[in-house]
Amino acid sequence: MTGMSANENRPMTVSEKIFSKASGSPVKAGDFVLANIDLAMTHDITGPLAVKGFYEIMKDREEKKVWDPTKIVIVFDHQVPADSINATANHIMLREFAEEQGILNYDVYEGVCHQVLPEKGHVLPGDLIVGSDSHTCAYGALGAFSTGIGSTDMAAVFATGKLWFRVPETFRFEVEGSLPERVYSKDLILHLIGDVGVEGVRYMAAEFGGSTIRSLSIPERMTMSNMAIEMGGKAGIIEADEVTADYLKERILYYEFDPYWKSDEGAEYVGVRHYDVSDLEPQVACPHNVDNVKPVTEVEGTKLDQIFVGSCTNGRFEDIKIMADIMGDEPVAKGVRLIVVPASRTEYIKLLKAGYIEKLINAGAIVEFPCCGPCMGGSFGLLGAGEVGLATSNRNFKGREGSPESFVYLSSPATAGASALTGEITDPRKV
């Protein structure tokens, strides 16, 4: 949908344009708006509470129907296959709700929500998307304003299709230069988080732009937008361009790219930071905060018990290929557990057909079917007391991936692959 014609004399950020469309009139940062939601997503952890809240809202109405079943998607990904009796009860409840309401439900075999929705064509530039998961900001990689909300807010969305927002200010990250060899978008986003801190863009739209960002593929952009929440962002948005259009044309029939969904020249930002990444080193986030970021050369040699490659941040075909290619035909280092979890069934099959699944298993890796397991310290892959893990996921809080007495470092798939060969954190440029 092309943007608003009113107030066209005032340059707008892409986020302001999206909220103008969603509220039906021109808005600016700081305005409070009741916005129409284009897409709502919930999953098997947060969904049950949203469903209970929905029925509470609708208890006095004769017809208890969601506002628009075609604009709601349920994904089973966190506790899949069900790892407890409580999980089975949640799954049953959500399946029944989806059937009753006519809602699309991606069951346990499909993959992680933040990979599944874009790859299935549910995300479009200019959309306002909410999900009852903090990393819903990942969809901003396609030019949508996408943000996480609580389950009770989701209940209200189910009932009305609307939600109150304060239109956020925008903080612009202008990134120039070519990423050096074996330095990737994960290293870049860790560097930015380390620079501004975990509250650096609190309740702002983190807008990523510049020649470096424009050169990134959609999978690389997803990594960037996914972690905007780790700097406090309400959303992490990358302006749609021809790269976005090419990705969407593979998924959506008759898709026509609308160049409107960009920030105008002269749009007002609360802050702008400029970066040249030509000399950027591989980055590692150290325990127990995502903004505790250091160049890999400062933490080389840290002994590891486990390496996890996957998650909605870095579980795509391209990520796992990077790791596997660095490992070559060498085995996983003795004493290290390498757990690999592709982000979706589609990505898993691509890896399978390309021979990477067999290659990794032969090297000593454990390859699991798509889910959120190790990332959330869920059904498998937990770290024990005193153990040290390296992960390509998005959070390293105390107890995030197992025991509160364990230690989690975050890195790119390249660093993970190099480290899998040595059993310690290793600079991928040296392998």
Q: For residue 75, what is the domain's CATH number?
A: 3.30.499.10
Determine if residue 286 is labeled as part of a ligand binding site.
no
For residue 379, tell me if it sits in a domain: yes
* 295 in the same domain as 417: yes
Beta strands in 110-166 (DSSP E): 128-131, 145-148, 162-166
Distance CA 393, CA 341 (A): 11
Asked if 101 and 67 touch (Cβ cutoff 8 Å), the reply is no
* 175 in the same domain as 153: no
User: Would you state the torsion angle of the CA atoms of residues 132, 134, 139, 143, taken in this order, to the nearest 10 degrees?
Assistant: 110
* 231 in the same domain as 154: no
For residue 363, tell me if it sits in a domain: yes
Mention every residue, 6+ apart, whose C-beta is less than 8 A from residue 44.
74, 75, 76, 77, 78, 79, 80, 87, 90, 91, 94
Domain count for the chain: 3
Distance CA 215, CA 183 (A): 14
* 186 in the same domain as 106: no
* 393 in the same domain as 291: yes
* 419 in the same domain as 285: yes
Domain that holds residue 290: 281-423
Determine if residue 137 is labeled as part of a ligand binding site.
no
Of 220, 245, 274, at which residue does a domain stop? 274
Mention every residue, 6+ apart, whose C-beta is less than 8 A from residue 78.
43, 44, 45, 371, 372, 376, 378
Asked if 41 and 297 touch (Cβ cutoff 8 Å), the reply is no
Of 251, 274, 297, at which residue does a domain stop? 274
pLDDT computed for residue 5 by the predictor? 42
Q: Which of 353, 330, 364, 355 is nearest to 340 (CA)?
A: 364
Please name the residue ranges forming H helices in 172-252: 185-196, 211-214, 218-226, 242-249
Interhelix angle 151-160/47-57, rounded to 10 degrees, is 50
For residue 11, tell me if it sits in a domain: no
* 246 in the same domain as 173: yes
Tokens 């990523």 found at: 208
- Here the tokens at position 212 are 């470096």
Show pLDDT as tens, one digit a residue, over the chain (431 residues). 444 444 557 899 999 999 999 999 999 999 999 999 999 999 988 999 999 999 999 888 888 899 999 999 999 988 788 788 998 999 999 999 999 999 999 998 999 988 999 999 999 999 999 999 889 999 999 999 999 999 999 999 999 999 999 999 999 999 999 999 999 999 999 999 999 998 889 999 999 999 999 999 999 999 999 999 999 999 999 999 999 999 999 888 778 888 889 999 999 999 999 999 999 999 999 999 999 999 999 999 999 999 999 888 899 999 999 999 999 999 999 999 999 999 999 999 999 999 999 999 999 999 988 877 777 767 777 889 999 999 998 888 877 777 888 999 999 999 999 999 999 999 999 98
- Here the tokens at position 346 are 């589609």
pLDDT computed for residue 8 by the predictor? 56
For residue 7, tell me if it sits in a domain: no
Of 129, 147, 165, at which residue does a domain stop? 165
For residue 75, tell me if it sits in a domain: yes
Asked if 373 and 380 touch (Cβ cutoff 8 Å), the reply is yes
* 367 in the same domain as 250: no
- Here the tokens at position 425 are 């954190």
**Digit-coded pLDDT (tens) for 71-111:** 999 999 887 887 889 989 999 999 999 999 999 999 989 99
Q: Which of 295, 247, 306, 292 is nearest to 124 (CA)?
A: 247
* 309 in the same domain as 264: no
* 137 in the same domain as 57: yes
How much helix, strand and coil, in percent to the nearest 5, is found in the chain?
35, 20, 45
Distance CA 3, CA 5 (A): 7
* 172 in the same domain as 125: no
Please name the residue ranges forming H helices in 46-199: 47-57, 85-101, 113-119, 151-160, 185-196
For residue 8, tell me if it sits in a domain: no
Burial-class residue 403 by CB neighbours within 10 Å (0-12, 13-18, 19+).
middle
Q: Report CA torsion sign: 317, 226, 107, 77.
A: positive
Question: Could you give the 3-state DSSP secondary structure of residue 226?
Answer: helix
Asked if 327 and 321 touch (Cβ cutoff 8 Å), the reply is no
Other Cβ atoms less than 10 A from the Cβ of 49: the count is 17
Order across the sheet with 293-295: list the strands.
293-295, 283-285, 407-410, 388-391, 306-310, 337-341, 366-367
pLDDT computed for residue 15 by the predictor? 96
Determine if residue 312 is labeled as part of a ligand binding site.
yes
Q: Which of 210, 208, 203, 205 is nearest to 221 (CA)?
A: 208
What pTM does this model have? 0.90
* 415 in the same domain as 294: yes
Distance CA 308, CA 125 (A): 32
Question: If you write DSSP's letter for every residue of 271-285 in order, what string do you get?
Answer: EEEEEE-TTPPPEEE
